[in-house]
Amino acid sequence: MRYAELQVTTHFSFLRGASSAEELFATAKLLGIEALGIVDRNSLAGVVRALEASRATGSRLVVGCRLDLKDGMSILVYPTDRAAYARLTRLLTLGKSRGGKANCILHLDDLALYSKGLLAILVPDLADEICATQLRKMAEIFGDRAYVSLCLRRRPNDQMRLHELSNLAARHRVKTVVTNDVLFHEPGRRQLQDVVTCIRTGTTIDDVGFERERHADRYLKPPQEMERLFSRYPEASARTMEIVERCTFSMEELTYQYPEEAIFPGKTAQQSLEHYVWECVPNRYPEGMPSHVEKIIRHELALIETMRYAPYFLTVFSIVRFARSQGILCQGRGSAANSAVCYVLGITSIDPDTNDLLFERFVSQERDEPPDIDVDFEHERREEVIQWIYKTYGHDKAALCSTVTRYRAKGAIRDVGKALGLPEDLIKALSSGIWSWSEAVGESQVRDLGLNPDDRRLALTLQLAQQLMGAPRHLGQHPGGFVLTHDRLDHLVPIEPAAMADRQVIEWDKDDVEALKMMKVDVLALGMLTCMAKAFALIGKHKHQDLNLATIPQEDPATYAMIRKADTLGTFQIESRAQMAMLPRMKPETFYDLVIQVAIVRPGPIQGDMVHPYLRRREGKEKVEYPTPELEAVLGRTLGVPLFQESAMKVAMVCAGFSAGEADQLRRAMARSNLPAVSAGSRISLFPA
């Protein structure tokens, strides 16, 4: 028997489902279920994770959503094509705009307005007059795209209810279809599902009553079992595949289009970018641009044109240009500092030529991923930039990413403990004795707290907390990750109001956006930039010097004397205890010494055993040797120790003949392995020592 499970709830229905999309699709593959219809409640927050799970297993994803209407109806809807998907996302955006954060208010009339191309399954409770009225409305709105679910509830007279429901459906010419209303992937998750119900309703397992599921059958079953359970309704079972075949829409059809607001009138995006780059060159090189820098810029522009990333650079440039026009201090960071184009446009004040950085660390043809530029703004004035973005691009084309708040050890123990009725003092002792970002809860930790891990309820708490870790708790707001589009953003993803006024958030986080290759611009706040802006103002007022991030003197002797004494409390990047302990050993004298200082006090170089060799060579206690003369050119500034990702990439290019793009692929592959690590300055990656 061919069978598709069309009513599957993942844990992105927040404290309703008890399994991830990965678990559900992997189990469906093993059971021989051909497709899964993911229908999280009033949300598409988990659909990208479902897409990735579908890709990994080869099982078909049927995109859907469960709409709990204020009219008292619950309807599963599935877009049959791309246009219908856009109508569904706009419908959800409408409901969320009414309900506010984490709420959705929709009525049947709203669904009727957006119903074209949507296939709908009514999820009734009883086969009564109310159900008959609902079936009549379904037939009027959806016609031959209307279905009604036959689902076991494991209650008295269940078979009689299905029989009456089937007769009602026939009377109103609505087709029946079998569903299983899945909440978890295998029977062992029943206990966790009860616990998340308790967490959602704010009750304990002793008091939850009929709020919990009344039976344990809400897991995936093989097609043969579903055929046995619904042997009286073979046509309803067969219709699961009929629906799969009718729903031709795939998430792969979603194509992102860059915004065009920053394009120069009468020019293409690439021509506009080149126009602004050459226009801005005199700002960085007033005495003329060196020929080797021009070569770098032309190389970057050619790669940007090949990858069609010009609109992205233009968008970031327009935001930075606005900030500078308003006197708002800003600075691009991360891999954007590797770009000469970003330096010329004023996005970053780091000259990649003087710091020997690789553009392919930032944009690579082999990687084929949108670039990612993080721009920090004065924290007191960032809201001006955010509101300018909304005003310029429009609320229908601009929104912040969400962040998925997931359970870690401390939060999982706290919530599961409350749900299982543990005393408050015991919960506090457990959660306070475990590091909040721990990935495991072990018996040894419990014994160290003087508790008995063999206690039945305590042991169950630890077991279920372990299962809950990693599950999403709720959606939050990204600190500044904007998604900007050319067409309506709510044709791609539902948008909801943020908790903060005048902001809105999409349902997908940065990983989802990256998976779909959509553009994200990080507009972040940095308190130190506010301090620096005020310092520049004071210097200008009292010493009549016009300084900015690009022109501030880098090698001030008095400043470095202070740094060498570790008198750096409140000094950005070198104020932690670990940094202050390293400063007297490093004895930095130049800005590049500070770059190494910040990079070396990180887990990567420490785990890769690179710190002490570098310090011994710096102090003259160990001879600096290079296996080949070519490596001296690559590792000379770091005394033969590969401290940076760029260093490892250049080693591959010089010694193994890799192209820059291939070297970046190697860097990323090694980053996913368990090899010793090398620091990337602001990021950690994995490289051998």
Q: How far apart are CA 274 and CA 300, in angstroms?
A: 11
Q: How far apart are CA 49 and CA 44, in angstroms?
A: 10
- What are the tens digits of pLDDT across the range 433-453? 665 445 555 667 677 777 777
Binning the chain into helix, strand and coil, the percentages to the nearest 5 are 50, 15, 40
Q: How far apart are CA 587 and CA 598, in angstroms?
A: 13
Please give the average per-residue pLDDT across 64-89, as a whole number: 96
DSSP 214: S
Q: How far apart are CA 687 and CA 669, in angstroms?
A: 10
Q: What type of residue is 284? A: R
Residue 485 or 682, more confident:
485
Q: Determine contact, residues 277/289, Cβ cutoff 8 Å.
A: no
Please give the average per-residue pLDDT across 248-253, as a whole number: 94
How many Cβ atoms are within 10 Å of 399's Cβ, its own excluded?
31
Q: Which of 162-176, 368-382, 621-635 has the highest mean pLDDT?
A: 162-176
**Domain regions of the chain by residue span:** 4-185+220-250, 269-400+517-527, 547-686
How many Cβ atoms are within 10 Å of 628's Cβ, its own excluded?
11
Select from 511, 489, 524, 519 the least CA-distant residue to 310: 519
pLDDT at position 685: 30
Q: Determine contact, residues 480/510, Cβ cutoff 8 Å.
A: no
Tokens of 197: 């119900």
Exposure string of 186-200, with b = 16+ CB inside 10 Å and e = fewer, is eeebbbbbbbbbbbe
- Sign of the Cα torsion 312, 315, 321, 327 reads negative
Instruction: Name the average pLDDT for the chain.
Output: 87
Quickly state the pLDDT bin for 178 (edges 50, 70, 90).
very high
The residue behind tokens 């039976």 is 215
- SS3 for 77-124 is EEECCHHHHHHHHHHHHHHHHHHCCCCCCCCHHHHHHCCCCEEEEECC
Please give the average per-residue pLDDT across 270-290, as a whole number: 90
Query: Pairing between strand 684-686 and 4-8?
Result: unpaired
Percent of the chain scoring above 70 in pLDDT: 92
In DSSP terms, which residues pair with 472 in a beta bridge?
406
Please give the average per-residue pLDDT across 659-663, as a whole number: 78
pLDDT at position 435: 56
pLDDT at position 681: 40
Residue 517 or 273, more confident:
273
Q: Determine contact, residues 124/75, Cβ cutoff 8 Å.
A: no
CA angle 387/391/397 to nearest 5° reads 105
Q: How far apart are CA 155 and CA 168, in angstroms?
A: 20
Phi/psi of residue 331, nearest 5 degrees: -155, 125
Whether residue 244 has pLDDT greater than 90: yes
pLDDT at position 437: 47
Q: Which of 55-69, 144-158, 288-302 has the highest mean pLDDT?
A: 55-69
Element housing 684 (H / E): strand 684-686
Least reliable range by pLDDT among 6-20, 520-534, 618-632: 618-632
Half-sphere exposure of 363 (CA within 13 A, CB side): 25
Whether residue 686 has pLDDT greater than 50: no
Q: Which of 40-54, 324-338, 343-357, 505-519 has the highest mean pLDDT?
A: 40-54
Q: How far apart are CA 199 and CA 182, in angstroms?
A: 19
Q: How far apart are CA 128 and CA 132, in angstroms?
A: 6
As a whole number of Å, the CA-based R_g of the chain is 29
pLDDT at position 104: 94
Phi/psi of residue 239, nearest 5 degrees: -70, -15
- Helices 409-419 and 424-432, axial angle in degrees (round to 10): 170
* The domain defined by 4-185+220-250 carries CATH number 3.20.20.140: yes
Please give the average per-residue pLDDT across 499-515, as a whole number: 88
Phi-psi region of 687 (alpha: psi -120 to 50; beta: other; left: phi over 0): beta
Q: pTM for the full model?
A: 0.85
- What are the tens digits of pLDDT across the range 558-612? 999 999 999 988 888 888 898 999 999 888 988 888 888 888 888 778 777 888 8
pLDDT at position 677: 45
Quickly state the pLDDT bin for 289 (edges 50, 70, 90).
confident
Whether residue 675 has pLDDT greater than 60: no
pLDDT at position 157: 87
Sheet holding 35-38, edge to edge: 4-8, 35-38, 60-63
Select from 680, 670, 676 the least CA-distant residue to 610: 676
